[in-house]
């Protein structure tokens, strides 16, 4: 049976605009909603809301976290409910998850663990603006906990850990000449073929981490070069993305992929590899006793093939999982929706896992 209150709460959240950098109104709503609960200690840091439920005799703390921002609207800024589906901007990513968090915060008055609920802005934009990063840099105690659950959309299936990411720029050099006399120059675009082929031939690895099979991939994502149709180009730039499993740390991943690319470039000609950005992977941690309570209820676990904010908790050696309502493949689409069944199932699974 559909939970009408949970659906209505999700509708309310969808109908509050909260595009990244404009989360003030939804932060106001969440702060006021939670401040009415006497069992919660609620504080606001910018547009981050932290609500804590500290129960006498409880030693372990479980953190539930979710971002409150959305991408810009695409003719979907108002919610509507049809055929057991709730449509609207952020329905999947991730106002359905936020609604579940709010209902859990209200209803878990004396849970089996201490609980911390973190609602944060700016997840959908550059990582430097991420609300969790702001909390992480301001005071590590904000993220202090023994295990964490991010209610990102996972189709109601636990997705443990996450891949790390290394973004690179490969500069391939050449020598300019007139395109009618290419023998007097060296075509950098032609030379870049070897690098692109090397990336295309990258052998996908599938390491087993904490009993889960991750996949490592390497993809060229941007290519640029040339200045005019009558000039042999002296420079070509390939941007690439390496997704690595949590059996490597960031330093190991960078060293590994740079060594691999070194097989296809010639530094004597001026070729260079530049690391643009690195995001840590997160260890699955499903053997953690707290998270295993959820696993025992949902029965299904898979690795997270992608990067999520569980990595922030991984930096603190906190095991974390992704578990939320909604199909991530619908995120940011015009027809984004979340089903009432998934809202209820995720809420019920977490309530049973966390209740006393």
- The alpha-helical segments, DSSP class H, found in the chain are 4-14, 24-35, 96-107, 131-138, 188-200, 250-261, 289-298, 310-314, 340-354
109, 39 contact by CB (below 8 A)? yes
8-state DSSP, 205: B
Per-residue CA distances from 52 to 42, 216, 322, 345 (Å)? 6, 37, 20, 24
225, 235 contact by CB (below 8 A)? yes
92, 328 contact by CB (below 8 A)? yes
Task: Tell me the CA end-to-end span of the chain in Å, nearest whole number.
Answer: 24
Per-residue CA distances from 310 to 62, 218, 249, 297 (Å)? 13, 22, 15, 21
**Residues designated catalytic:** 69, 123
Query: Any idea what the Cα angle at residue 6 is, between residues 5 and 12, rounded to 5°?
Result: 90
């Amino acid at each position: 049976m559909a939970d009408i209150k949970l659906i209505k709460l999700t509708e309310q959240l969808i109908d509050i605009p909260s595009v990244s950098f404009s989360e003030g109104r939804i932060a106001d709503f969440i702060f006021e909603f939670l401040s009415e609960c006497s069992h919660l200690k609620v504080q606001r840091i910018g547009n981050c809301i932290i609500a804590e439920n500290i129960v006498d005799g409880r030693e372990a703390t479980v953190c539930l976290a979710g971002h409150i921002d959305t991408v810009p609207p695409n003719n979907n800024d108002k919610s509507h409910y049809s055929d057991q589906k709730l449509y609207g901007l952020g329905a999947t990513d991730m106002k359905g998850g936020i609604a579940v968090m709010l209902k859990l915060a209200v209803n878990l008055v004396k849970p089996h663990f201490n609980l911390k609920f973190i609602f944060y802005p700016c997840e959908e934009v550059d990582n430097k603006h991420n609300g969790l990063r702001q909390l992480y840099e301001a005071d590590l105690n904000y993220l202090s906990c023994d295990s964490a659950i991010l209610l990102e959309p996972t189709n109601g299936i636990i997705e443990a850990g996450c891949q790390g990411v290394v973004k690179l720029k490969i500069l391939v050099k050449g020598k300019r000449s007139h395109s009618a006399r290419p023998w007097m120059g060296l075509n950098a675009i032609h030379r870049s073929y070897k690098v692109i082929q090397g990336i295309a031939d990258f052998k996908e690895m599938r390491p087993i981490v904490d009993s889960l099979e991750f996949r490592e991939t390497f993809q060229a994502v941007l290519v640029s070069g040339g200045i005019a149709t009558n000039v042999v180009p002296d420079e070509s730039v390939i941007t690439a993305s390496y997704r690595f499993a949590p059996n490597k740390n960031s330093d190991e991943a960078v060293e590994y992929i740079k060594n691999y690319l070194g097989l296809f470039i010639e530094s004597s000609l001026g070729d260079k590899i530049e690391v643009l950005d690195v995001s840590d992977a997160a260890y699955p941690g499903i053997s953690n006793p707290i998270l295993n309570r959820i696993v025992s209820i949902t029965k299904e676990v898979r690795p997270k093939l992608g990067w999520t904010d569980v990595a922030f908790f991984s930096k603190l050696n906190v095991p974390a999982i992704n578990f939320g309502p909604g199909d991530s493949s619908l995120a940011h689409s015009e027809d984004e929706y979340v089903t009432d069944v998934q809202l209820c199932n995720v809420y019920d699974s977490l309530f049973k896992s966390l209740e006393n």
